[in-house]
Chains A and B, each alone.
Chain A
Amino acid sequence: MTQVTAEFAGVPLESYSFTLNRGITPSVAVVSTIPVPGPLNIPAGRLRLQFGATTIDFEGMAAEVAYFRSVKNDNGWRWSLHLTDRRWKWQFGRVSGEYNIRLADGSTDPAQRKTPGELATLLLTRLGEIEPDVSRMPAGVFPYVKWDGVNPARALASLCESVGCEVVLGLDNRVTIWPIGQGPELPTNDSLRYPIFALNATSKPVKLVVLGSPTRFQSKLKLEPIGKEPSSGHHKLIDELSYVPSTGWLSESPWSFAGVTDDTNRMAALDAIWRWYQVTAQSDDSLPVPGTSTSIESAEQYFPLLDELVEASQSIEGIYRTQKPYVVGDFWPYSDAPGNASDLQYSDRFQLLQDRGIVQFPYPVLGLDTSGAMEKPILNIVVAHGVKDTAGEPVRLERVRILSGGSGAFTIRRPELFESFVSSAGSLIDNSAAVREEADRYLDIFAARFTGAPQRHAEYAGFAAIAPNGRIAQVRWEGGTRQIATTKASEMFEFDLSEPSAVQRRRSEFTDQLKESI
């Protein structure tokens, strides 16, 4: 008969059951031993399971719970101990950092770009892990992370979740990050107690969707002067106002509007005429936005305007900085002489009412021909904006992968991914190819989760040195002096219903994360 032994920190165990899970939450071994007098004071130690020539060690396990339990057959009492694997240490520590910040054009700043593997290494190093294996983590994606004094393990769990990976504590005491669905299969050998049971799960989606943020368009938009009706507060083009002077706006001093006789209207004119301008169309008077075929019936579909341009600038230190929208056009620049400057960038401050597409200048901005006659200026604002379709739905990055079988759509939200288009002087610059490639990588990653291996379950006589990986989700070793030693393991699902499920563990981790932020 094969020799079976189990011990914890050198103390022989009578019974033991240990379900090893993936993730950051430590797995718990339930073991029992003969009580010893006095308080139980066992330092963190090694749990060793031996079955013939097979030895499985779990280093650094800590006794978390101990209680007495009677044993029926000999009416004796035993210590029942709950031992948590060394991931208990991961509940401590913190990390800060922000990586893969997207520039306004959707690209990542090279200065702080990190691959998932680099991010995971950073976190695992902070957790004290030596030589973790992150080599299998996906490349070609750059998930945005912002850690502000957060627990590194929880940050690692979120990171791995976002790139379809699992954190695995291996039997070699080394942490490996496995992509879901990848890794060695359950072994088929003589110790199998019965044929491996397999199930092709039907509860899977028919398609995967990567959903990015709304697309950003940088356009040169036309500004038209507007005013307001004091009675209603409504905005109107200046020639449609009820108090247009009899000689028109162009013969009125913009500093007094003496031709507006009603005091209330005159105050409204001083407030707004030649100071407020509204976006009405593209600079060429058309409505369609370069970069999208979405039907545009009104400039309202551009709103809200964004407060930063798609194009970024570099500081002298080489750091990318956002740029603000600017007004450009033909207008009198308050020079000593009459006459408009041509295609001049307005250099003073102005307020942009983003949700209404209105630009408010602190003083009148007007046109003046070279003989001193006032005229309507030609003003445009170079600004980034989204586009809504006629039903109000924003145009956004959406990449779809159809799977075989299944039902419904599984949405992968990647808010840091968005397309951008910059139209300037008839040319169009976009990031579509790069951002779609990155989105498609996410589709590849998550497709493996639904089109990969079937759910399989196996039971082995004795202790089998099976480690979880991207495919094997759970392994349980159990046995004792009064029961035979077995090993159970499953691929692509967790069989042990007595354990909190992966979903429950994640929920618990989120709760801990919330507590952390209080």
Chain B
Amino acid sequence: MQPTDLRAPEFNDAVRVVNTSGEVVPPFAVMRVVSTTVVGGTITHSIAKPNSTFQRMYLVNGPISIAAHSGAEGLAKWLTSGGFVMYESGSPTVGQSWGAKSGQWSLSQHRPGFLIKGGTATYGNPVVAAVQEIVTSLLGKTTTTHTIDTAQTVDIYVGAVGSETTSGMSLSARNCFATVPDDRFVTVQYLNGQPYLTAARCSA
């Protein structure tokens, strides 16, 4: 049997997820992929709440909440065609970029990943129509002297222009052009699918 045959047409682009968060996953929650396995011939993603490790893409739960118990399953989407996604608060408007935040199921403003399309509503939590875009570049700060030809942790900085603060998320990026001192703004870009420092602030 192909489990996809059993799904309603509306869920044909959905993926199967297993909740490992220990919490009820609300509808349209932003979910981090913990691991991916194949269960009964179906790709199955174990998911949890976003944490401090940045992921280029997140899954978004469907309209049905996923129970908290171990092994509880649901259907989620990558939202590359758009759809509802939870946001924490504020007033998302068309064209803004919102993104995942460590420790919460909802999007936060001035973050990369989700382009707002408008259409807010409340289904237990506030949701907004958005489309997910794969993240290709980030603003960050070095967390130590980033020696050339090494990979070091970079804190991701987010926020309104001129008011950027740490996002609570980080990633490891490789430096190929020059040694960068600690606590300097850098640009991280994904090249060949991997993060590299491609620019850095020269002065403190």
Binding site for B on A (CB under 8 A): 247, 251-253, 255-256, 258-259, 267, 270, 332, 334-339, 363-364, 368, 370-374
Contacts and interface: CB of A to CB of B under 8 A. Distances in A.
Given A251-B69, A256-B73, A363-B6, A372 B1 contact: no
B171 interface: no
B123 A372 contact: yes
B26 A371 contact: yes
A332 B62 CA distance: 13
B40 to A, nearest CB: 8
Nearest to A270: B6
Given A368-B63, A370-B124, A336 B6 contact: no
Interface stretch (B7-15, B147-155, B194-202): B7-15
Given A256-B42, A258-B72, A371-B26, 11 more contacts: A247-B72, A251-B69, A253-B16, A255-B73, A256-B16, A256-B73, A334-B8, A363-B9, A364-B8, A368-B63, A372-B64
Contacts of B67: 247, 251-252
B79 to A, nearest CB: 11
Given A256-B3, A336-B84, A337-B123, A371 B27 contact: yes
B2 to A, nearest CB: 11
Contact of B66 (A253, A338, A370): A253
Nearest to A373: B65
B121 A337 contact: yes
B75 A372 contact: no
B65 A371 contact: yes
A255 B63 contact: no
A339 B71 CA distance: 24
Give the 10 A-B CB pairs with smallest separation, nearest first: A372-B27, A371-B124, A251-B67, A372-B65, A363-B8, A253-B73, A338-B63, A334-B10, A258-B73, A256-B73
Interface centre among A256, A334, A363 (most CB of B within 10 A): A256
A247 B67 CA distance: 9
B113 interface: no
A338 B73 contact: no
B74 A336 contact: no
B73 A337 contact: no
Most B CB within 10 A of own CB, among A370, A371, A374 = A371
B18 interface: yes
Interface residues on B, range: 20 to 34
A196 B19 CA distance: 101
B8 A258 contact: no
B69 A247 contact: yes
Contacts of B63: 332, 335-338, 368, 372
B112 interface: no
Interface of B: 1, 3, 6-11, 16, 18, 26-28, 42, 63-67, 69, 71-75, 83-84, 121, 123-124
A229 B10 CA distance: 29
Given A251-B69, A371-B65, A338 B6 contact: no
A258 B7 contact: no
A515 B19 CA distance: 73
A464 to B, nearest CB: 83
A219 to B, nearest CB: 28
A370 B11 CA distance: 19
A516 B67 CA distance: 70
B84 A337 contact: yes
A270 B18 CA distance: 17
Contacts of A336: 63, 83-84
A270 B10 CA distance: 17
30 contacts: A247-B67, A251-B72, A252-B67, A253-B64, A253-B72, A253-B74, A253-B75, A255-B11, A255-B16, A256-B16, A258-B18, A258-B71, A258-B73, A336-B63, A336-B84, A337-B84, A337-B123, A338-B27, A338-B63, A338-B124, A363-B6, A363-B9, A368-B64, A370-B123, A371-B27, A371-B123, A372-B27, A372-B28, A372-B123, A374-B65
Contacts of A270: 1, 3, 6
A363 B9 CA distance: 9
Nearest to A369: B124
Contact of A255 (B9, B28, B69, B75): B75
A374 B64 contact: yes
A247 B9 CA distance: 27
Q: Pick the most buried of A258, A332, A373: most chain B CB atoms within 10 A of its CB.
A: A258
Nearest to B84: A336
Q: Which of A334, A372, A373 has the most CB of B within 10 A?
A: A372
